[in-house]
Amino acid sequence: MNTIKLSELGEFGLIERIRRALPVGRGVRLGIGDDAAWLENHSPWSLLTADMLLQDVHFNLEWTSLADLGYKSLAVNISDIAAMGGLPAYATISLGLPRDFRPDQVQEFYRGMNVLARRSGVSIVGGDTSVADALLISVCLLGYAPYRPVSRGGAKPEFDVYVSGTVGDAALGLELLKTNSSAIHRQAGAYAVKRHHRPTPRMELGRLLARRQTARAMIDISDGLLQDLAHVCAASGVGAVVWEEALPRSRSYRALAQNSRLALSGGEDYELLFCAPSAARAEIMRIAKRAGVAITRIGVCVAGSVSIQVVDRNGKELMIGAGGHDHFASNGRRKLVRRIT
Ligand SMILES: [Mg+2]
């Protein structure tokens, strides 16, 4: 284990260490080490996204390993590219590092990131480092669109609303970590924690949904299903009804969560939420099979006000407090209308 301080190694020594460890994928003419990266374009249409993660705001090192953090910082960016129907290609990683950070800690971060970079065909081609008061991670990801990108704005009244995978697991995992629950040592809890630390960006699914414009509006779930559906509704000028009973919940979720609060409002699942006309139902099931991901129809777009209703199996509206997840009551009979705009 290397225990020298970053200050002793210097920025150039660190960059050299990082460069040696990184995969160089296709299309990289010149990666880290020159004034700028020289890259080949895979398609005329580029997709560019950036995310900044700040210690104690977006992550907590008490329960997050640096390898998981490296993995997740890239995953959330890939997810944004996937939500447009694109594929990721090149990333720059910029780090603000506390003075007492060690080179081996930086390397652990990149070890986690490289696992996903290799798996998803991402080349890390540059970035910057600086000293900082807390750990700061800034990722910029360049992707390409093999087909016309799918925006948030294409939903129409009567379109179906779908979600991939299961929802609520990542938020459940975070709650278990925050409360230091003993459940994290059991299978159900460990699964939720893993979903929190290492989400799976739905690259292939996003690509297939864009190929024939099967999905007309799409977003990835970072802020929570209702919140992200609200973004789609606002961009499309529609409302939506969500059937609580239809929400896809994992075995872990069913074992450990008390109600559907986290499935509706918990963030960071990085599943795809999309809308499509009812004529596309058979095609969507074929795409699910091909991508190897479950897709569930969870509601329908409606005309009128840009708001979302969540209804139970009897068609009764569920209560969700305005802006506050904490007031959610799974058996509530009071009026719920979550106002979006
Ligand atoms: Mg997004």
pLDDT tens per residue, range 112-139: 999 999 999 999 999 999 999 999 999 9
pTM of the model: 0.90
CA 275, 279, 285, 291 torsion: positive or negative? negative
Distance 49 CA to ligand 1 centre (A): 9
Q: Which of 30-39, 96-105, 124-133, 137-146 has the highest mean pLDDT?
A: 137-146
Q: Measured in angstroms, how far is the CA atom of residue 216 from the centroid of ligand 1?
A: 16
CA 139, 270, 282, 155: dihedral to nearest 10 degrees?
-80
- pLDDT value at position 327? 35
pLDDT at 4: 56
Is pLDDT above 70 for 6?
no
What's the CA-to-centroid distance between 219 and ligand 1, angstroms?
Answer: 6
Q: How far is the CA of 90 from the centre of ligand 1 (A)?
A: 18
Cα(221) to ligand 1 centroid in Å equals 7
Strands of 46-54's sheet, edge to edge?
46-54, 136-144, 87-97, 123-131
Distance CA 79, CA 58 (A): 17
Q: How far is the CA of 35 from the centre of ligand 1 (A)?
A: 30
Q: What does pLDDT average to over the chain?
A: 90
Task: Provide, rounded to the nearest whole percent, the portion of the chain with pLDDT above 90.
Answer: 81
| Rounded distance from Cα 190 to ligand 1 centre (Å) | 25
User: In this structure, which amino acid lies at residue 168?
Assistant: G
- 218-254 per-position pLDDT tens digit: 999 999 999 999 999 999 999 999 999 999 999 999 9
**Identity at 208, one-letter amino acid code:** L
- For residues 172 and 23, which has the higher predicted lDDT (pLDDT)? 172
- Note the pLDDT tens digit of each residue in 47-92: 999 999 999 999 999 999 999 999 999 999 999 999 999 999 999 9
Please tell me the total number of residues recorded for the chain in this structure: 341
How many angstroms is it from 228 CA to the middle of ligand 1?
8
Q: What is the pLDDT of residues 154-187, one digit of tens each?
A: 999 999 999 999 999 999 999 999 999 999 999 9
Q: Over range 257-277, report the average pLDDT.
A: 96
pLDDT above 70 coverage of the chain, percent: 90
Please give the distance, rounded to the nearest whole angstrom, from the Cα atom of residue 159 to the centre of ligand 1. Answer: 21
Distance 273 CA to ligand 1 centre (A): 10
pLDDT at 16: 75
* Of 215 and 129, the one with more pLDDT: 215
At residue 9 the predicted structure's pLDDT band, cuts being 50, 70 and 90, is low
CA of 84 to the centre of ligand 1 (A): 9
Residue 19 burial (C-beta neighbours within 10 Å; 0-12, 13-18, 19+): middle
